[in-house]
Structure 1
């Protein structure tokens, strides 16, 4: 005689946390292997419409359709990098002017500090020399780490297109594998989950690209009006780096300030750059992100921030980029699995206007959220 055993709530919660911690530990240990695989999976999902068009409309073989899709993706990336490299080479030709303007700007900063904080220029230079010496020592110690990082980037750049091609090539194979894991009565739910994951990831990445274009255009326009020479390049770099949470916009701001020294060292221009970046970020955070990004993935801000921080601590910049789509996939799975609906709801961003507490005395207590 069999009986259905329902474990207590604390056992369910403990099992879920142990499972999540185990998955997190596996990701942390194998992050160097999993980063290119997960990035390739996202790009493969993004390229699925092109792959499907080539197969269904143009009647191409699966291998050829997969290869053309990946080559198209690689060509777009190479085109963007080529444009940036040409523009950077143009900036490098102004290096002497940048250095001269930087020294002039630095001297004005020294004078400002001397007049307002009563610190002599000699003391300021002595402090900068001491800091520079410490930085040089630390830089020499980190050369090996930098070389390893560059090697990892080059390796990932080679592996990601290969993995993307293989994901597209064996798409049907993977789906058949998943269908074999579950009973036939669960195939409808499995199909629903896979379709929703595809739609969510596609919408998120397309939304991210739209946000990148919008930020690039807004920044380029702002830099053009304040008279920055390489406004198109700097706007594009700002849009690309803006996809890296937190640190991306800071790096873009520093690069913009350095590039602006090719024209003038005036403080008013630097203040103008700061104002442009602040205005663009306000528009991005309050209009573009809620309209383009948050509408594509229904993840609330608290879970997003925690996921980005954990992703960054686990796998660096790639982990920060992967955090949101992975959380979106988890939410889709939780929403459609029995017993996991509360966790999917916890990750969502839909807040009820009212809630009702039901008490044993059959009295309902109404409150506002």
Structure 2
């Protein structure tokens, strides 16, 4: 079969429906808008995501009998409270612990040398003095580079203070009006679409619950894991408990990989603080139990069968979308993979119609 005939067959099979052509065009336009104007429209997209998350609470309050405006007001006040708590309490505390950690880098390097020498005494045939010296030198260079990057980031952030203020002012305003005028905005968007939109409606209803449940569930999972981690680390006397708890909470964004990566800073801080003692073992056992409870109890309760993807597909989605859009690509990797899966299964296929030149000739009866 020639390339031209193959393309005709594909077009005839997947784009014979007018709605499929419209949907394909909308997907391409939406992708181009995100790629070309993503940074410019970042406050809008941020507000859209937050409003999508908060809509579940508004709908619940409406089902309880509250008027929509009252429900929107209560949820919006709750959102502002959480935002102010993060901006005025949590983030300054994390920044202070990070700055304190950078100041203690020379002391940490000295402790790491002692620990490595203990390992050398235990395993002299595996660890040599030259290896210890190379490790200490490499670690010192990496810590110095990290300190310079953080210092550069803090200085550069002074110039982007206006952008932070715009986010803090503009995003809440957009969230409020997106919640308040939700029906009007949706009606306007629907008026721009063709009247025949059975395919788009079917895909939307299939994706709405899954994406909403995933995003809300992921936010809840991050908060629960971070809070429980902070309580655990604080109870065990682990330094930088807030910073480490934030790392563990954000690690759930990347399934399978995040938990393994978050283990490294926890083991490093615990080892440098307590040495290879029973206290170090208790910290690692507590962290392992926390990860086991998250994966086997919390995740099934929050997500159930809302996202039914193979682990290989999840990892590929995280690598692909994370490489394109960074943090937000990682966060939305699973919803985007679910969207692609829904499109693949819901997309109309015409198996009967073929291009005229490929139709079999009718034999005479």
The 3 A distance-change label for structure 1 pair 72 and 55 is same
1:168 corresponds to:
179
1:318 to 324, 328, 338: 328
Q: Deviations over 1:153-205 (max 9, x none)?
A: 66545443233223223322232234434555647x76665554442233212
Cα RMSD, aligned residues only: 4.9
* Worse overlay, 152-161 or 199-208: 152-161
Q: Would the aligned equivalents of 1:193 and 1:332 in 2 still touch at CA under 8 Å? A: yes
**What pairs up with 1:200-279 in 2 under 5 angstroms?**
200-216=210-226, 219=229, 223=233, 227-229=236-238, 233=242, 236-238=245-247, 240-245=249-254, 249=259, 252-253=262-263, 256=266, 264-268=273-277, 269-279=279-289
> Secondary structure of 2:332's match?
helix
Q: Structure 2: where are the runs of 5+ without partners?
A: 1-6, 16-20, 351-365
The 3 A distance-change label for structure 1 pair 65 and 75 is same
- Partners of 1:241 and 1:164 in 2: how far apart? 23
2:67 corresponds to:
59
- Partners of 2:13 and 2:253 in 1: how far apart? 35
Between Structure 1 and Structure 2, how many residues are aligned? 330
Question: By how many angstroms is 1:55 displaced?
Answer: 6.3
The 3 A distance-change label for structure 1 pair 109 and 150 is farther
The 3 A distance-change label for structure 1 pair 215 and 17 is same
- Partners of 1:12 and 1:151 in 2: how far apart? 52
**What pairs up with 1:1-369 in 2 under 5 angstroms?**
7-9=8-10, 24-52=31-59, 57-59=65-67, 61=69, 66=72, 68-80=74-86, 82-85=88-91, 88=94, 102=108, 105-112=111-118, 115=121, 116=124, 117-119=127-129, 155-182=166-193, 186=197, 193-216=203-226, 219=229, 223=233, 227-229=236-238, 233=242, 236-238=245-247, 240-245=249-254, 249=259, 252-253=262-263, 256=266, 264-268=273-277, 269-290=279-300, 292-293=302-303, 295-332=305-342, 335-339=345-349
Q: Would the aligned equivalents of 2:318 and 2:334 in 1 still touch at CA under 8 Å? A: yes
- Partners of 1:59 and 1:18 in 2: how far apart? 38
- Partners of 1:303 and 1:148 in 2: how far apart? 40
Question: By how many angstroms is 1:321 displaced?
Answer: 0.9
> Secondary structure of 2:274's match?
coil
Q: Would the aligned equivalents of 1:51 and 1:65 in 2 still touch at CA under 8 Å? A: yes
Q: Deviations over 1:331-351 (max 9, x none)?
A: 4555555339xxxxxxxxxxx
Q: TM-score, normalised by structure 2?
A: 0.65
Q: Deviations over 1:217-270 (max 9, x none)?
A: 654575467x235697467525531343167546754664576589x4322344
